[in-house]
Chains A and B, each alone.
Chain A
Amino acid sequence: MSVSVNSPMPLRSHRQLLIKLLVVIALAFAFGFAMVPLYDVFCQVTGLNGKTGAKPGSLGIAGISNPLTSSPSSIDSSRTVTVEFIGTVMPGLPWEMTALTSSLDLHPGELHQAKFRVHNLSDKTIVGQAIPSVSPGLAAQHFEKLDCFCFAQQTLAPGETKEMPLTFIVKPELDKDIRTITLAYAFFIVADTKSAAKNLALR
């Protein structure tokens, strides 16, 4: 009986509280997706996820023009940094990739070239795209590629073997604690030209 007396009051505040909670839920859901751009910005600033040049869009012109505008840094011969190279091929791509230069000892600021050999094992012409990753991630900001096979998609004829060069500078601003940098390439298959264009546009 007393419930019927009490119920009109609680019911109204039930609705108000419900609406507030639904707003919180909507905000939490939006926050989950907002973490994607936030994470990208955070990584661009810190280089946390090991993407080189701080800009994922270092393909093509942007990547090449960059060193021209930035003045050549002086060479820091007081220390030596070891750069290691790794090449892997992702599942679904019948290629073989070897780092011809497995590692280099260099002074920050020096211009160096490393080479990879990529071989198409199949009897089809296949287009692939290499995705680089630098570890430790913090070194990525100071790893500058002047020219790289990863700036463009690579096409290999059936059974073809190609040597793919990479020209780079490790900038002297590199943190003193970092003595070894590992640059890993993963070759992905580009399914068809349309989706490849879309992929590039997305960068």
Chain B
Amino acid sequence: MNTTTVNDATGHHDHDHDHAPEGFMRWLTSTNHKDIGSLYLWFSLFMFFFAGALAMLIRAELFQPGLQYFQPGVFNQLTTMHGLIMIFGAIMPALVGFANWQVPLMIGAPDMAFPRLNNWSFWLLPAAGTLLIATFFVPGGAISGGWTMYPPLYMQGGIAYDISILSVHILGISSIMGAINIIVTILNMRAPGMTLMKMPLFVWTWLITAFLLVAVMPVLACAITMLLTDRNFGTHFFDAAGGGDPIMFQHVFWFFGHPEVYIMILPSFGIVSTILPTFARKPLFGYVSMVYAVASIAILSFIVWAHHMFTTGMPLGGQLFFMYATMLISIPTGIKVFNWVATLWRGSITLETPMLFSLAFVILFTLGGFSGLVLALVPVDIQLQDTYYVVAHFHYVLFSGSAMAIMAGVYYWLPKWTGHMYDEKLGKVHFWVTAIAFNITFFPMHFLGLAGMPRRIPDYALQFADFNAIASVGGFLLGASQLLFLYIVIKCARGGAPAGNRPWDGADTLEWTLSSPPPYHSFVTPPLVK
């Protein structure tokens, strides 16, 4: 229901086409990649604010020691749902939204390969999201065992746990269908002359991400199916009393879970690799090595999963293997960072909002990568497992990584999507407040973690009070500054200075050859790529 109100806001301003149904039915029945891309992006924006509101409640509780607003059980529901919704409801749909809008435009295809499948894979999301949010109102409250859904805790909850399993199943099916669509579109529908190695890097990253999705989302489906049958049908996959093993869940889950974190970051790499050359006015440095680096990251992601489980009792050989394999990932990632910096080198750089977000991405994501390397060290990880250091690490790669790359991409392509320029001054304010507030929120968490503060707790020892107060203040500022983002996006959708076909003089991908906004049916005649 929430998405429909959001849709109405855009419905007025999109160009009407005589043959398309009007109003809500237009969006419900649309098979147009641009419509569906917009739906994905609005949906993820709504979920971003919902899960962000949960984060505000978490920071309010943690502002000072002691129990202020929530009982521990409710607090655990907040952290669990914040994580689950941000990952499956905000970041992943946002990136799929980008793929829907941009992949056909960037490869010169008229639409996605399976337009009806595309419609279906979007409209599963509101159903799954509603189910997930509704669990707050069922007896026993929402799930509270952490977004990783570990048994045996996950076996013991109420009806919300079964509803969440159903919801994650639906989200998984949606992701798989989206991935199929993207792979077939990219492999079969490129404009004549666009060979694989001429594709924009954003398209490459999504192609590889889609293969990751196809390979690991079914494994997640397995893991939660086993949870479901353990809970309801008397199987004993994870039940020690029946001969099962709860640790096995962690293996199956993280076999999905580690590629999943790359699913969330690789398209972000693609967005940043598109924006940096535009505003440095130089071609991307080391295009071929970028493609191979993304592919190696994707392949390595399958053999590092147990670094999430160093404290579960693993033989030394296993610990060493997963430690070295994990550290190996820093090589292709390092290549990417090097290439980004080399792209900037001696470029004619201008600092428009998308560029600011992309530069912050390079710096802050690299910081998150460094703390990841620290956590890859077995002896250090055993100390830091489940502390705020881990929380700091994954917010650096997921917020200042994925989320800020998504914001960069939104600013970069908003002129193309809407036909209007966004408010550059407000965009810069949004960037600076976001970047500063983000660091105020999450940088102190490194210190908290090193000092031993465990994650997922509503109360803490007195010595952690100061840093938590700082993090909470930063958190509120970060939350509030995103309202500015919403305002800028809506303002830009409603009107503004006309963008022209190519508002960024350094942009050279195919979408900039079209009008802004692009015609409802674009590239009906495929462009010729030299």
Residues on A lying within 8 angstroms of B by beta carbon are 1-3, 6, 10, 13-14, 17-18, 21-22, 24-26, 28-29, 31-33, 35-36, 39, 43, 46, 48-50, 56, 90-91, 129, 131, 133, 135-138, 186, 188, 195, 198-199, 202-203
* B139 on the A face (CB < 8 A): no
CB under 8 Å from chain A, chain B span 98-114: 110, 113-114
User: Please, which residues of chain A bring their CB within 8 A of the CB of B219?
Assistant: 28-29, 31-32, 35
Tell me if B176 and A32 are in contact (CB < 8 A). no
Judge whether B241 and A49 touch: CB under 8 Å: no
Question: Does the CB pair A10–B176 fall under 8 Å?
Answer: no
Closest B residue to A130 by CB, please name it: B241
Q: Known A2-B526, A25-B176, A202-B242; judge A35-B251 contact (CB<8 A).
A: yes
- Establish whether residues B110 and A3, one from each chain, have CB atoms under 8 Å apart when the complex forms: yes
Taking CB atoms and an 8 Å cut-off, the chain B residues in 213-258 that contact chain A are 214-223, 226, 234, 236-237, 240-243, 245, 247-248, 251-252, 255
Size of chain B's interface in residues, with CB distance under 8 A?
41
| In contact, B222 and A129 (Cβ under 8 angstroms) | no
Residues in B neighbouring A10, C-beta threshold 8 A: 113, 188-189
| B residues less than 8 Å from A49 (CB atoms) | 245, 247-248
- Residues in chain B near residue A203, CB distance under 8 A: 243
- Minimum distance in angstroms from B281 CB to a CB of chain A: 34
Residues of A within 8 A of B236 (CB): 199, 202
Q: How far is the CB of A140 from chain B (nearest CB, A)?
A: 10
18 CB < 8 A contacts A-B: A2-B525, A6-B526, A10-B113, A14-B184, A18-B180, A29-B222, A31-B219, A31-B222, A32-B221, A35-B255, A43-B245, A49-B245, A50-B313, A91-B156, A133-B240, A138-B315, A195-B234, A202-B236
Whether a CB of chain A sits under 8 angstroms from the CB of B483 is no
Q: What's the dominant secondary structure at chain A's contact region?
A: helix
Q: A14-B188, A28-B218, A31-B219 in contact; A199/B242 too (CB < 8 A)? A: yes
Cα–Cα distance between A55 and B20 once the two chains are bound (Å): 65
Judge whether A24 and B215 touch: CB under 8 Å: yes
A25 pairs with B110, CB closer than 8 A = no
Q: With A32-B221, A36-B237, A186-B240 given, is the CB distance from A21 to B214 under 8 Å?
A: yes
> Which of A6, A24, A33, A198 makes the CB contact (< 8 A) with B222?
A33
B524 within 8 A of A: yes
How near does chain B come to A196, taking the closest CB pair, in angstroms?
10
Q: Is the CB of A2 within 8 A of B524?
A: yes
A136-B313 contact in complex given A21-B214, A32-B218, C-beta closer than 8 Å: yes
Bound form: Cα–Cα A6–B184 in Å: 15
A135 / chain B contacts, CB cutoff of 8 Å: 313
A36-B248, A48-B315, A131-B240 known; A24 vs B214 contact (CB < 8 Å): yes
A3/B241 in contact, CB under 8 A: no
Alpha-carbon distance A91/B157, docked complex (angstroms): 13
Docked pose: A36 CA to B249 CA in angstroms = 9
B243 touches A199 (CB 8 A): yes
- A14 x B114 contact (CB < 8 A): yes
Which residues from chain B contact A39 at a C-beta distance below 8 Å?
Answer: 245, 248, 251
Closest Cβ neighbor of A47 among chain B residues: B315
Contacts of B497 in A (CB 8 A): none
Chain A contacts for B247, CB-based, 8 A? 49
User: How far, in whole Å, are A4 and B222 apart by their CA atoms in the complex?
Assistant: 41
Which residues of chain A are near B217, meaning CB under 8 Å?
A: 25, 28
Contact of A129 with B218 in the complex, beta carbons under 8 Å: no
List chain B residues, Cβ under 8 A from A33.
222, 226
User: How far is it, in angstroms, between the C-alpha of A186 and the C-alpha of B239 when the chains are bound?
Assistant: 12
Give the residues in chain A near B114, CB-CB below 8 Å: 14, 18
A17 to B179, CA, bound (A): 12
Name which of A33, A137, A186 has the most chain B CB atoms within 10 A of its CB: A33
Q: Are A35 and B248 in contact (CB under 8 A)?
A: yes
User: A138 vs B313: C-alpha distance in the bound complex, in angstroms?
Assistant: 9
B188–A32 contact, CB under 8 A? no
Shortest Cβ distance from A12 into B: residue: B188
Kindly state whether residue B314 has any CB partner on chain A within 8 Å.
yes
Q: What are the residues of chain B within 8 A of A198 when measuring CB–CB?
A: 234
Name the A residues within 8 Å of B222 (CB-CB).
29, 31-33, 35
Whether a CB of chain A sits under 8 angstroms from the CB of B183 is yes
Give the Cβ gap from B176 to chain A, nearest Cβ, in Å: 6
Cβ contact within 8 Å between B216 and A28? yes
Partner of B188, one of A17, A35, A46: A17
Which of B188, B223, B252, B524 counts the most A-chain CB atoms under 10 A from its CB?
A: B188
User: What's the Cα separation between A22 and B183 when bound, in Å?
Assistant: 12
* Bound CA–CA A49/B237 (angstroms): 14
Question: Is B127 in the interface zone, CB < 8 Å from A?
Answer: no
B380 interface hit (Cβ, 8 Å): no
User: CB distance B525 to A1 under 8 Å?
Assistant: yes
Rounded to whole angstroms, the CA-CA distance of A46 and B314 in the bound complex is 10
- Shortest Cβ distance from A114 into chain B, in angstroms? 21
- B242 CB contacts on chain A under 8 angstroms: 199, 202
Q: Cβ of B187 < 8 Å from any Cβ of A?
A: yes
B208 to A: closest C-beta gap in Å? 14
Which residues of A lie under 8 Å from residue B313 when comparing CB positions? 48, 50, 135-137
